[in-house]
Amino acid sequence: MLWATFYFSLMNVFIKATGHLPIWELVFFRCGISALICIIEIKRKKINWKGTNRRMLLLRGIFGTTALYMYFTTLANIPLGTAVTIQYLSPIFTTIIAIFILKENVKPIEWLFFLISFSGVFLMKGFNDQVEMKFIIIGICSAVFSGLAYNMVRSLRGLENPTVVVLHFQLVGTLAGLIFSVPSWEMPQGWDWAFLILTGISTQLGQINMTKALQQEPMAKVTILNYLGVIYAIVLGYLIFNESYTLATLGGIALVISGVILSILARNSKRILRFSAADKNT
């Protein structure tokens, strides 16, 4: 999971480094490269790439692509650590949306933790002139669409091969990226090509390592490590893009991540205790 978080952080850096290009163009390259890798994997395993739940697969692709476009927009326009932190609100929206789609329940204490996270977002904006409110809103909308996409993935669990689900997301992203980037297409120059290719590769490496982690350990035990990505983002933003953060901004980031982690712990408390007991018995 540590490697997965690191590779996803590299993807964020490569996207920000090419942020001068049109955003839909970045979506096209990111999804196109990942789609090629998925196609090779599907051919190797001789899987039916079309799937059987095509409406759900299409919705997953649309929601995921919309979230990706909005996330890349925030990466290109606000400090790296702030953009990544706002995106980490997606588990909250995933939980809230699951109330209506998957008929899941939310514990009363979780709403308090949600409030803590959102207070952190307003703290980040209130004391940071580097961040325009419109990009905060775009980042929150990205997290909402990510929550919708994750609920589609959960609805497809056991019904579709995971690689097929990922492929349809990449195909929708590639097609949408190509169509919407044509009017404003800018040919990448020099290092742009390397960064765009590395974006797809680092994304795939992150997915592979995350899949391995989730397959070998209970989700409740490893997903917390994913939030180390905020630390990576702050450090890389400082070292590579010369970004700085006020104490108020860092406090807001801490509130967002604390609220999300506490909500995850509250939702999975029984499972975590059960896993810990099992480890001791082993």
pTM of this structure? 0.86
pLDDT band at 223 (very low <50, low <70, confident <90, very high): low
pLDDT band at 150 (very low <50, low <70, confident <90, very high): confident
- Angle of helix 2-17 relative to helix 191-216, nearest 10 degrees, comes to 160
Residues in contact with 20: Cβ distance below 8 Å, sequence separation at least 6, in sequence order: 76
Site of tokens 């397959």: 215
HEC string of 210-275 equals HHHHHHHCCHHHHHHHHHHHHHHHHHHHHHHHCCCCCHHHHHHHHHHHHHHHHHHHHHCHHHHHHH
Average pLDDT of the chain to the nearest whole number? 85
pLDDT at 280: 37
30, 173 in Cβ contact below 8 A? yes
pLDDT at 159: 83
State the Cα–Cα distance between residues 184 and 192, nearest whole angstrom: 16
pLDDT at 28: 95
Read off the pLDDT of residues 256-270 as tens digits, 9 standing for 90 and up: 999 888 888 887 765
pLDDT band at 127 (very low <50, low <70, confident <90, very high): low
Q: Which residue ranges make up each domain of the chain?
A: 2-281
Mean pLDDT, rounded, for 147-171:
86
HEC string of the chain equals CHHHHHHHHHHHHHHHHCCCCCHHHHHHHHHHHHHHHHHHHHHHHCCCCCCCCHHHHHHHHHHHHHHHHHHHHHHHHCCHHHHHHHHCCHHHHHHHHHHHHCCCCCCHHHHHHHHHHHHHHHHHHHCCCCCCHHHHHHHHHHHHHHHHHHHHHHHCCCCCCHHHHHHHHHHHHHHHHHHHHHHHCCCCCCHHHHHHHHHHHHHHHHHHHHHHHHHHCCHHHHHHHHHHHHHHHHHHHHHHHCCCCCHHHHHHHHHHHHHHHHHHHHHCHHHHHHHHHHHHHC
Lowest pLDDT segment from 7-11, 16-20, 55-59, 202-206: 202-206
Read off the pLDDT of residues 60-118 as tens digits, 9 standing for 90 and up: 999 999 999 999 999 999 999 899 999 988 888 988 898 888 788 888 898 999 999 99
